[in-house]
Amino acid sequence: MKDKDFLEKIAMEMREEFETKTIDVKLLEQFFYDYIPLNHCESFIQKSLESFPRNNCSVATVYLKHKIPEGKVIPGWYGLDVHVFLMVDDIIVDITADQFGGPKVYVGPLKYPWGT
């Protein structure tokens, strides 16, 4: 199991890369296409990044998985909203919950409003 401090450090770094638009877009496109093989993946990613954090949970989570390979991409919920986040053992790593009024970065146990 990864140390919670390590997971928080990675989550904060990834959040900053998305906010400052310094994310490796080509690498992100590749990871996302491997997760969901969409036609026109490049345009989907570009539109998503323009509205970060809104509509970016799956995009950001797939990139987090690249940085934390033992994590699992979990399709679940944030309250009543469909949401995607990373689980590492029993810890959630989420850098887009603020699109629903949650924290910008959350690293902690699975609890309400997160659900699977």
Tell me the β-bridge partners of 107: 93
Q: Could you give the C-alpha distances from 108 to 46, 49, 74, 92, 94, in angstroms and in order?
A: 29, 25, 15, 5, 9
Total structural domains within the chain: 1
Contact 104, 95 (CB under 8 A): yes
pLDDT of residue 34: 85
pLDDT of residue 42: 79
Reading the block at residue 22, the tokens are 């310094």
| pLDDT digit string, tens, across residues 67-76 | 999 999 999 9
Contact 54, 99 (CB under 8 A): yes
Domain residues for 30? 4-115
Q: Which residues does the chain have with pLDDT short of 50?
A: none
